[in-house]
Amino acid sequence: MSLKIAVLAKQVPDTRNVGKDAMKEDGTINRAALPAIFNPEDLNALEQALRLKDQFPGTTVTMLTMGPGRAAEIIREGLYRGADEGYLLTDRAFAGADTLATSYAIATAIRKTGPFDLIIGGRQAIDGDTAQVGPQVAEKLGLPQVTYAEEILNLDENARKVTIERHIDGGVETVEAPYPLVVTVNGSAAPCRPRNAKLVQKYKRALGVQEKAAITKDGGVLPYADLYETRPYLNLKELSAADVDADFSQCGLAGSPTKVKAVISISFQTKDSKRMTGSDNDVEGLVVELLSNHTIG
Amino acid sequence: MNNVFVYLEIEGQSVADVSLELLTKGRKLADRLGVKLEAIAIGSKLDGIERQVMPYGVDALHVFDDPRLSPYTTQPHAAVLVGLFKEEKPQVCLMGATVVGRDLGPRVSSALKSGLTADCTSLEIGDHDDPKTGKSYKDLLYQIRPAFGGNIIATIVNPEHRPQMATVREGVMKKEILDPDYKGTVVRHDVNEYVPDAEYIVKVIDRHIQKAKNNLKNAPIVVAGGYGVGSKEGFDMLFELARELHAEVGASRAAVDAGFVEHDRQVGQTGVTVRPKLYIACGISGQIQHLAGMQESKIIISINTDPDAPINTIADYVVVGKVEDVVPKMIKYYKAHSK
User: What is the four-CA torsion angle of B81, B87, B91, B94, rounded to 10 degrees?
Assistant: -20
Give the 3-state secondary structure of residue A291.
helix
Q: What is the mean pLDDT of residues A150-168?
A: 96
**Which pLDDT tens digit goes with each residue over A211-249?**
999 999 988 999 999 999 999 999 999 999 999 999 999
Q: Which of B148, B158, B315 sits opposite A258 (nearest CB)?
A: B158
State yes or no: pLDDT of A74 exceeds 80.
yes
Phi-psi region of B175 (alpha: psi -120 to 50; beta: other; left: phi over 0): beta
Mutate to test the interface with B, among A266, A291, A294 (most CBs of B within 10 A): A266
A199 touches B: beta carbon within 8 Å: no
Residue B210 domain-assigned (yes or no): no
Say whether both B171 and B84 belong to one domain: yes
What length is written for chain A?
Answer: 297
B205 occurs within a structural domain: no
Considering only the beta carbons, identify the residue of A170, A258, A262 that sits closest to B212.
A170
In contact, A211 and A70? CB cutoff 8 Å:
yes
Per-residue model confidence (pLDDT) at position B279: 97
Closest residue in chain B to residue A255, using alpha carbons only: B113
Report pLDDT for A18: 63
Q: Is the pLDDT of residue A20 over 70?
A: no
Residue B204 belongs to a domain:
no
Residues B72, B116 within the same domain:
yes
> Is the CA virtual torsion B5, B11, B13, B16 positive or negative?
negative
- B330 contacts A287? CB cut-off 8 A: yes
Domain span including residue B317: 216-338
> Is position B208 within any domain?
no
Top CATH class of A4-250 equals alpha beta
CA distance A205 to chain B (A): 32
CB pair distance less than 8 Å for B319 and A264: no
Q: What is the pLDDT of residues B29-53, one digit of tens each?
A: 999 999 999 999 999 999 999 999 9
Q: Are residues B291 and B259 in the same domain?
A: yes
Of B199, B224, B245, which one is at a domain's C-terminal end? B199
- Statement to judge: residues B184 and B228 lie in one domain: no
Which residue from B160, B207, B221 is facing A171, i.e. has the nearest CB?
B207
Query: What is the mean pLDDT of the segment spanning B154-173?
Result: 93
All residues of chain A having their beta carbon less than 8 Å from the beta carbon of residue B202 are 144, 146, 175-177
Helix extents (H) in chain A: 40-55, 72-81, 99-113, 133-141, 197-203, 209-216, 227-230, 280-292
**Together in a domain, B165 and B257:** no
pLDDT of residue B328: 96
pLDDT > 90? residue A22:
no
Judge: B161–A257 Cβ closer than 8 Å, yes or no: yes
Q: How far is B328 from chain A (nearest CA, A)?
A: 10
Is B186 in the same domain as B295?
A: no
Partner B, chain A 78-117, Cβ-Cβ below 8 Å: 98-100, 103
How many angstroms separate the CA atoms of B106 and B112, rounded?
10
Tell me whether A280 touches chain B (CB under 8 Å). yes
Task: Determine what percent of chain A is predicted with pLDDT higher than 90.
Answer: 80
Residues B15 and B46 in one domain: yes
Number of domains in chain B: 2
**Cβ-based contacts of B156 with chain A (< 8 Å):** 258-261
- One domain for residues B10 and B145: yes
In a domain, B206, yes or no: no
Chain B interface includes A217 (CB < 8 A): no
* Minimal Cβ distance to A271: which of B111, B205, B316: B316
The CATH number that applies at residue B75 is 3.40.50.620
B172 shares its domain with B244:
no
* Structural domain ending residue among the three candidates B199, B231, B263: B199
Phi, psi of A140 (to 5 degrees): -65, -30
In a domain, B211, yes or no: no
Same domain, B150 and B264: no
| ipTM (interface predicted TM) | 0.89
Q: Which of A126, A187, A261 sits opposite B157 (nearest CB)?
A: A261
Nearest to A277 among B117, B130, B321 (CB): B321
CA distance A195 to chain B (A): 21
Angle subtended by helix axes A280-292 and B323-338, to nearest 10: 50
Q: Which of A131, A250, A86, A12 is CA-nearest to residue B107?
A: A131
Residue B171 — very low, low, confident or very high, per pLDDT cuts 50/70/90? confident
Contact B314 A268 (CB under 8 A): yes
CB A278 to CB B303 under 8 A? yes
- How many residues appear in chain B? 339
Interchain CB contacts (distance < 8 Å): A and B? 251
- Name the residue among A22, A256, A283 with its Cβ closest to that of B330: A283
Shared domain check, B101 and B41: yes
pLDDT reading at B59 higher than 60: yes
- Return the minimum-mean-pLDDT range out of A169-183, A184-198, B83-97, B288-302: B288-302
Taking alpha carbons only, the member of B19, B165, B15 closest to residue B105 is B165
Query: Which helix (DSSP H) or strand (DSSP E) does residue A170 occupy?
Result: none
DSSP 8-state assignment for residue A56: S
Provide the whole-model pTM: 0.87
Task: Kindly tell me if the per-residue pLDDT of A27 is higher than 60.
Answer: no
Average pLDDT, chain B: 94
Which CATH number do you get for residue B324?
A: 3.40.50.1220
Domain identity same for B66 and B176: yes
Does any CB of chain B come closer than 8 Å to the CB of residue A35?
Answer: no
From B189's Cα to the closest Cα of chain A, the distance in A is 24
